[in-house]
Structure 1
Amino acid sequence: MRQDRLTTSFRGGTILTGPLSNPTAVEAVTVSDSRVVALEAGGGEVVDLGGGYLLPAFRDGHAHPLWGGMELNRLPLGHCTSAAELVAAVGAYATSNPQLSWVIGGPYDPTLLPDGLGDASVLDAACRERPVVLYAADHHTMWVNTAALEAAGITRETPDPPLGKIIRSADGSPRGTLLEWDALALVERVMPQPSLDEHLLALQRACEHLARHGIVWAQEAAAKPAEVLAYAEAARRGVLTCRFNTAFWVDPASWRDQRAEFLQCRKEISDVGAFVTARTVKFFADGVIEQGTGHLLAEYDDEPGSVGLPNFSASELREAVRAFDADGFQIHIHAIGDAAIRSSLDALAYAASHNGPSSRRPVIAHTQLLDPADLPRFGELGVIANFEPYWAKLDELQVELTLPRIGVERGDRQYPMATIARLGGRISFGSDWPVSEVSPTIGCAVAASRQLHDGTPSDGWVPGERLGLMEALAAYTAGTAYQAFDDDAGEISLGQRADFVLLDVDPRTATPVELWDARVLGTWLGGRLVHST
């Protein structure tokens, strides 16, 4: 996309300049060649802010835009509020799309199913002749019908893969729910694969969706080399209105062979400029607590003897992190359970001690359940804690699936964002879209209240971990800019990139509910308008 080199003055509203933790309000800023050149009105084109509030644009520190864009082109299920509605939606979609050889949809709310698990026979009632594949909101769970099990060759005799689980009936036959990547891969390897044109359309739709929410940069949190090349091709064709850094997905079984492939792919996309970079690798240290695959230090309350599913042994994770760190990649680790977070911190410390000083900016994403002993280690090791703040509330997922598995004491240790910040650790925010809500304003409202939209619980869930509203907004702007090595972004200041978002509420005085309901009136990338209402 061509950068706008014209001089533009933004005026007619309130502009929050400098660090959002203590901003200064001005009446105008001037932009030239995609940069802020004056904190006052200048010449050239005028953008009338209409009385709104101009902030630095948001940056999403952990998302899956390609997946999200693909899901925008498939069977949507987020509106369903019961299992019956899910089945009805599948049936209606299958009937209206007879040309599709597979019916693929999601994400669905796993709390709509008993224990979060679905049976193939239930989906058979909606569509029996063609395979049906539905992704749960966590994207670690897949619900399929009998035709999909048959297409994948999954039978009573099929063993659980090393990093996955086939949910079974009492007689050992597959029920229709698969957990974690290796199990999902049994079906995905026989599913129709998207074409390049489908990937490009998905990225275009993802960019439009992100821009509507004021997002101009996103960390693509798990991509295969072919998908990274699709991002690069989208950049070459000029269809991107958001910048992306892509993270190569590290396979625990073949990471040694992947090193050369990742280095070559990073080199191949070096010509696309700032719109797409590939400086990061992504590890999954564990799964998710609600399905019993998050790796815990102590056993699950509802499953004696089980501590979840680590994707790497501690020693293998240390060596893999050290190797990719030596290759110059930023490390980004999905770690949900307290054991997974500890082993991730240990691995990052190991890499630093072996490879020597560098500007690593490593990331542990989700950072859900921590042992108190590990809280200060983020600051000590220079590890960024990337939180998905929308999750830090007592919603149905917590009440019905997560808390029954780990109990109240461990439940109250989830998402300690205020404590890590107080202890000197850097925090950044993300959405994990399409796993959950993409809106940064809603995420910040939850971070500041630890409440649902209706204000429950009245004091907030684990209220000591609430952030100030402006502190939360800083995590979604300056915090993610730091994560992105984007040191000339994250606030509205002289010389900074002119990435802006225009809100209809004043975040300095808004309540969390008012920010939750805020509207994004405009989004600018390098001074160029990419969304307006």
Structure 2
Amino acid sequence: MTTTIFDGGTIWTGTGTTSDALLVVDGLIAALGAEARRAADDATQRVDLAGGFLLPSFGDGHAHPLPGGLEAVGPLVRPCTSVAEIVETVRAYAESHPDEEWITGASYDGSLAPGGLFDARWLDEAVPDRPVVLRAWDYHTVWCNSEALRRCGIDADTPDPVLGEIVHREDGSVLGTLREWGAVDLALNAAGPRPLDVRVGALRTAAQYYLARGVTWVQDAWVNAEDVEVYLEAARQDALDIRFNLAFYADPRYFDEQVATFADARQRVLDAASPLLTANTVKFFADGVVENETGALLAPYCSGLHSHGMQVWEGDSLAQAARRVDELGFQIHIHAIGDAAARQALDAIEYAITSNGPRDRRPVIAHAQLVDDADLDRFAALGVTANMQPLWAQLDALMNVLTVPRLGPERSAKQYRMNTIDAAGALSFGSDWPVSSGAPLDGIAVAVSRRTSEGEPEGGWTPEEILTMERALTAYTNGVARQAFAGQAGPSWGTIVPGASADLVWLSADPRETPALDVPRIEVRGTFLQGARVHPAS
């Protein structure tokens, strides 16, 4: 029997109470406070919190760990602050990797070019003779050089694919920017996946990234058939390192063929019998993103360029698809950015409930960037969790340059209504990493301030949607645990209560007593999974 006592700091249980001591026995929470100290003996290991703050470890309710890990494999364009810097980074990478047939990387800042439109000729200056494909921060857009366009068979006469857009110059030639996955897939499929061992390594990179930030459970919100093998191989190699739940991607173009494979893929994961891996969810896209005007809106975009945006599933097809995966016992997880998409997602979930009868579903609508007033109460009424990305709720360059001009001031002020939705008891947090930072403390700082890292605006943007620190911490811990069905197939996690798994994060300071702008600078001193310290590595 292994016993550990944590003391010397504040222990936030996530249940409205704090303690000054915690006893863990064989990976489970055994006792708190005076009872924990009485049960400890000379053989008990001690973790001195040194005045720090211990709480349940964070979960990430919506992320993309494989692409996140792969960003470290290709040219590192994410830190670049100009088009010229991206081009130079790609040039240097190509010169140092002469044997790579395709140069693929991610993820560039879409606000660095007017309208988010990037020209193939800029990349041609760096690499004219090999295909280059770079993904944007939003992961809904790619930037190709001319050779990549040629290899993909894209020219001025290529029609826009279903659910995608090939952007053209004024003279009709192809620019080099491809929007949404119908077009993005043309480039990614031509490039092909990285080797299996590289992708397993990327998954481990992602896990270590998360552990360093106090996260021990992640919802992979877009899993293709080939990704399942990556996770299974990682499980065979004991290389998962944190808890993952897989959400199989439902594509309206191929759904009838896909849905027949979802249960088999879930069974393969069950047969792997890894305590760190589940596959309980199916992911749908209801729309795209506001930044390229593919988010689905009830009223037109201000520019009118794409009118109301893009509806991925036409008519009642999303509702019918949701009903079918619900029949198979999967959790529904729907990407919905615009208010029209949120309504369609809520309608689909309501249809699945009505068709298939009551059960514990815990459906999820991810992002919920814009929700019409008439739909706000439906989240709680239908038992839907809004998994929101708190880091996005700020007036940063992306918001000011690409989002607000497209929505206009009135709609912009109704984005990310976290406080409103949380008041109804329907909120969890995620990062959408690598679209944005996967560090919960970064997102929490915005959730409790609605301010940028520079402190703008004073008093916070849409301050009525500011959360208290306790509620923000809950959304990143127990809110995600509830979304994840924690406790149904093993010990619960997300709160520090007797019998729960000792999934914990030790911070250097109490975020409740830290100014919001300083919260991202709080040190993660240790991350514990089932009582074992997994960060920093021993």
Please report how far the alpha carbon of residue 273 of structure 1 lies from its aligned counterpart in structure 2 after TM superposition: 3.0
* Mapped contact 2:120–2:146 kept (Cα < 8 A): yes
Superposition CA RMSD, Å: 1.2
Kindly indicate whether residue 191 of structure 2 is the aligned counterpart of residue 165 of structure 1.
Answer: no
Deviations 1:93-149 (A, max 9, x none): 111221211111111111111111100001101111111111100000100100100
User: Which residue number corresponds to residue 288 of structure 2?
Assistant: 287
Please report how far the alpha carbon of residue 171 of structure 1 lies from its aligned counterpart in structure 2 after TM superposition: 2.4
User: Which residue number corresponds to residue 391 of structure 2?
Assistant: 390
User: Which residue number corresponds to residue 431 of structure 2?
Assistant: 431
Change (3 A) 1:282 1:305: closer
User: Which residue number corresponds to residue 327 of structure 2?
Assistant: 326
* Mapped contact 1:102–1:191 kept (Cα < 8 A): yes
Give the distance between the partners of 2:406 and 2:192, measured in 1 at CA.
Answer: 36
* Mapped contact 1:286–1:335 kept (Cα < 8 A): yes
Describe how 1:233-248 pairs up with structure 2 within 5 A.
Answer: 233-248=233-248
Aligned to 1:106, what secondary structure does the other structure show? strand
* Mapped contact 2:14–2:474 kept (Cα < 8 A): no
Give the distance between the partners of 1:193 and 1:69, measured in 2 at CA.
Answer: 14
User: Which residue number corresponds to residue 507 of structure 2?
Assistant: 503
Give the distance between the partners of 2:183 and 2:55, measured in 1 at CA.
Answer: 43
Describe how 1:373-452 pairs up with structure 2 within 5 A.
Answer: 373-422=374-423, 424-452=424-452
Give the distance between the partners of 2:25 and 2:105, measured in 1 at CA.
Answer: 44
* Mapped contact 1:314–1:343 kept (Cα < 8 A): no
Please report how far the alpha carbon of residue 334 of structure 1 lies from its aligned counterpart in structure 2 after TM superposition: 0.4
User: Which residue number corresponds to residue 70 of structure 2?
Assistant: 70
User: Which residue number corresponds to residue 29 of structure 1?
Assistant: 22
Give the distance between the partners of 1:326 and 1:303, measured in 2 at CA.
Answer: 39
User: Which residue number corresponds to residue 498 of structure 2?
Assistant: 494
Please report how far the alpha carbon of residue 196 of structure 1 lies from its aligned counterpart in structure 2 after TM superposition: 1.7
- 1:23 is matched by which residue type in structure 2? T
Aligned to 2:340, what secondary structure does the other structure show? helix
Change (3 A) 1:421 1:18: closer
Give the distance between the partners of 1:500 and 1:460, measured in 2 at CA.
Answer: 31
Please report how far the alpha carbon of residue 18 of structure 1 lies from its aligned counterpart in structure 2 after TM superposition: 4.2
Which 5+ residue runs of structure 2 have no aligned equivalent? Answer: none
286-295 or 50-59: which moved more? 50-59
Aligned to 1:309, what secondary structure does the other structure show? coil
Aligned to 1:515, what secondary structure does the other structure show? helix
* Mapped contact 2:470–2:512 kept (Cα < 8 A): yes
Paired-residue identity, %: 48
User: Which residue number corresponds to residue 8 of structure 2?
Assistant: 12
Kindly indicate whether residue 532 of structure 2 is the aligned counterpart of residue 518 of structure 1.
Answer: no
444-453 or 68-77: which moved more? 68-77
Give the distance between the partners of 1:184 and 1:170, measured in 2 at CA.
Answer: 21
Kindly indicate whether residue 248 of structure 2 is the aligned counterpart of residue 255 of structure 1.
Answer: no
Which 5+ residue runs of structure 1 have no aligned equivalent? Answer: none
Please report how far the alpha carbon of residue 340 of structure 1 lies from its aligned counterpart in structure 2 after TM superposition: 0.4
Give the distance between the partners of 2:24 and 2:238, measured in 1 at CA.
Answer: 22
Describe how 1:73-472 pairs up with structure 2 within 5 A.
Answer: 73-271=73-271, 272-303=273-304, 306-422=307-423, 424-472=424-472
118-127 or 250-259: which moved more? 250-259
264-273 or 403-412: which moved more? 264-273
Deviations 1:159-183 (A, max 9, x none): 0001000000122221000000010
Aligned to 2:60, what secondary structure does the other structure show? strand
477-486 or 8-17: which moved more? 8-17
Give the distance between the partners of 1:125 and 1:273, measured in 2 at CA.
Answer: 47
* Mapped contact 2:294–2:306 kept (Cα < 8 A): no
Give the distance between the partners of 1:16 and 1:415, measured in 2 at CA.
Answer: 27
- 2:519 is matched by which residue type in structure 1? L
Please report how far the alpha carbon of residue 430 of structure 1 lies from its aligned counterpart in structure 2 after TM superposition: 0.3
- 2:346 is matched by which residue type in structure 1? L
Give the distance between the partners of 2:525 and 2:18, measured in 1 at CA.
Answer: 21
Aligned to 1:190, what secondary structure does the other structure show? helix
* Mapped contact 1:10–1:49 kept (Cα < 8 A): yes
- 1:373 is matched by which residue type in structure 2? A
- 2:29 is matched by which residue type in structure 1? V
User: Which residue number corresponds to residue 51 of structure 2?
Assistant: 51
Please report how far the alpha carbon of residue 519 of structure 1 lies from its aligned counterpart in structure 2 after TM superposition: 1.3
Aligned to 1:51, what secondary structure does the other structure show? coil
* Mapped contact 1:505–1:514 kept (Cα < 8 A): no
TM-score of the superposed pair, with normalisation by structure 2: 0.96
Give the distance between the partners of 1:53 and 1:47, measured in 2 at CA.
Answer: 12
Please report how far the alpha carbon of residue 302 of structure 1 lies from its aligned counterpart in structure 2 after TM superposition: 0.8
Give the distance between the partners of 1:23 and 1:501, measured in 2 at CA.
Answer: 17
234-243 or 522-531: which moved more? 234-243
Give the distance between the partners of 2:413 and 2:299, measured in 1 at CA.
Answer: 15
- 1:378 is matched by which residue type in structure 2? F
Please report how far the alpha carbon of residue 305 of structure 1 lies from its aligned counterpart in structure 2 after TM superposition: 6.3
515-524 or 354-363: which moved more? 515-524
* Mapped contact 2:339–2:370 kept (Cα < 8 A): yes
Aligned to 1:134, what secondary structure does the other structure show? strand
Give the distance between the partners of 1:38 and 1:497, measured in 2 at CA.
Answer: 12
Please report how far the alpha carbon of residue 232 of structure 1 lies from its aligned counterpart in structure 2 after TM superposition: 2.2
Deviations 1:385-420 (A, max 9, x none): 000100000000110001111100000110001011
Give the distance between the partners of 1:314 and 1:361, measured in 2 at CA.
Answer: 24
* Mapped contact 1:223–1:248 kept (Cα < 8 A): yes
- 1:527 is matched by which residue type in structure 2? G
Deviations 1:200-259 (A, max 9, x none): 101111111000000000000000122123212212221122100000000101212212
Would you say how many aligned residue pairs link Structure 1 and Structure 2?
525
* Mapped contact 2:51–2:509 kept (Cα < 8 A): no
Give the distance between the partners of 1:305 and 1:80, measured in 2 at CA.
Answer: 29
Aligned to 1:261, what secondary structure does the other structure show? helix
Give the distance between the partners of 1:483 and 1:192, measured in 2 at CA.
Answer: 33
User: Which residue number corresponds to residue 476 of structure 2?
Assistant: 476
Give the distance between the partners of 2:306 and 2:270, measured in 1 at CA.
Answer: 48
Aligned to 2:99, what secondary structure does the other structure show? coil
